[in-house]
Amino acid sequence: MVDFSDALSSAAGVQVQAHWEPIADATDNLHQLTQEQFEKLKTRWPETVNMEWEQALELFNLDASGVRLLPAEFAGRLVLNRTEGVVVEFSLALPSRNSNVDVNAFRAADVAFIPRMELSTLSSGLSTHEITWETAITEEEARKKLATAFYKFAEIEWTPIEDTVELAKGTNRPIHALVLFGTLDDESC
C-alpha cells in the first residue's frame, strides 16, 4: 500500500461537490409503490404494520429518514501533486451498472440503479493531461492491485466455462463450479 501521510500538506484542503440522481430503475420499484402493491407487501411482513400507503411513499423518499442505501461499491480517482502537497483531482462514485445499490426501509429491500451518486473536486484549473508522469500504470492495473489488496478472491484465476469444459474433458477431471447472484465485491450483499 502507498502511504500518503507525507504527500499532503497539513493545511491541504479540497472542496468537493455532490451529485445525486434519483433511482432510475429497481427490481421491485419500492420507491414507486402503488397503493395495491403496498397492500400486498404489507401482507408479507411477519408483524402487523400500522402504516398507510402515503407514509410508505415518504419512507422511500431518499431525503427521508429511515431509508438506508447500501452501495455495491464505490470507485474513485485521486491525483496528488506531491511537490505542492495538494489534491489535484478527486472523485468517488457508484459504478455505472444496472444494479449498484440496495435500498432498505421498514423491513423491505430493493435492488436499485442510481445513475449518479458522486463526490468530486471542483475544477482546480490544472488538467491531469498536462502532467508529465515519471511512472504510471493503467486504470485496469490499478483496479487489479486494489482488488487483490482488499479481496482474497481477486487472486483466483477464473476460467470461462467453455475453456473449463474443454480442460475437464482433456484431463478427465471433474469441474468445481460456483454459481453466484451478483459479484463477489458487491459490498451491499
Asked if residue 80 is part of any domain, the answer here is yes
Residue span of the structural domain in which 117 resides? 16-136
For residue 157, give the amino acid letter.
E
Say whether pTM exceeds 0.75: no
Asked if residue 129 is part of any domain, the answer here is yes
Distances (CA, A) of 145 to 81, 82, 100, 136, 182: 22, 21, 22, 13, 21
Asked if residue 152 is part of any domain, the answer here is no
Asked if residue 97 is part of any domain, the answer here is yes
User: Are the CB atoms for 88 and 81 separated by under 8 Å?
Assistant: yes
pLDDT in tens, 56-65: 776 666 575 6
Asked if residue 78 is part of any domain, the answer here is yes
Q: What percent of the chain has pLDDT over 90?
A: 13
Question: Taking 60 as the threshold, does the pLDDT of residue 189 lie above it?
Answer: no
Question: Taking 80 as the threshold, does the pLDDT of residue 41 lie above it?
Answer: no
| Count of domains for the chain | 1
